[in-house]
Chains A and B, each alone.
Chain A
Amino acid sequence: MEKKLLEIKDLYAGVAESGKEIIKGLNLTINAGEVHALMGPNGAGKSTLAYLLAGKADYAATSGNVTFAGQNLLSLKPDERANAGLFLSMQYPVAIPGVSTNNFLKHAVNAKRKYMNLPELDAAEFLKLLRASAQELGVTTEMLKRELNVGFSGGEKKRMEMLQMQLLQPKLAILDETDSGLDIDALRIVAEGVNKLHTSENSLLIITHHLDLLNLIKPDAVHIYYDGHIVQSGGKELAEKLEQSGYKSFVEA
């Protein structure tokens, strides 16, 4: 039987401060082990959805439910969501001057271990774990010593996001335009990261504009997202149709 991992029901949400509505009646279910792609024009509210699910305080739901791994997701703090297995790879990863990448990753890994009642890793144990993952993703020791995302190129930032995903092994990873602005090698690294995480237990929600990444990761479902809700769902052929005729054909239909 299929196991529901994320279930969004009749969700309405928007900007917390102004109350401006951005998500309007969204329904989406992702089962364990599935890869979903969400495609939509600029301004459709894709990043708002990603941030809302991750718990950014700037956004708030006005009605509807979001269940994640059996829990009411919207009642959890951002760190609790992350530790429950939700991972958001941000379109613009934040730079944190003064905090080495190494040190940051150690805090993140140990936060999750603490949540799972596992003993925290010491410096040597963590380094061993880190080295193995970093090497696979082409993250150099030099990069790990640098301050997190400070002066990183676009490709390096995305690679770092994939490394974090790899280390944290989320149940559901949301990739918010992780493929934007990447060259072909970096794109391949993202695809490899995704494919490595993807098991019968782990799911992904890929927010993207491009067919390139979807060709490399083969989604189970593609959703066309417009004005805060899904207008059509289907297989990869939807993405191909989109590439040929644009969003217009979906909106007018």
Chain B
Amino acid sequence: MELAVFAITAVVALIGAVAMVLSKNAVHSALFLLLNFSAIAVLYLLLRAPFLFAIQLIVYAGAIIVLFLFVVMLLGAERHEEGADALRWQQPTALVMGIALLAAVLVVALSGPLGAPAAAAEGFGAPEAIARALFTDALLPFQVTAMLILAAIVGVVVLHLRENQRG
């Protein structure tokens, strides 16, 4: 049963990924990326991570995709890529090197012992467990994250201000 859910979700995730790269229209790309993110959220549920499932849907599928769609439509960037590539040999080379990278990663990752999944402990991945780790073991990174978000906000505002001054 679990394996069937995994197989279907994995296929959906891969279809979303391939279609995202192949779509000519950037709006379609963003929507296929949404499909991919949602499939990964389902996989998080299979891996007993309900908190990350919710975060994935809210932050990635909600906020980030909406931001992408806003910018794509604001810039009118959904039209086709016209004209030939500046580097003619780039696309076939990228394809070959990408497949070579995939083969290398698979050989390395699947050769070593990965260990069978242990039996899930009671309450593993629950919000309480994550919060306890977040506020004890990972307290310093958690606070640094607050600084990072502040820096991002200031950065976006500064970019916008400079643009307005020039115009």
B is bound to A: no
A residues with a Cβ closer than 8 A to B are none
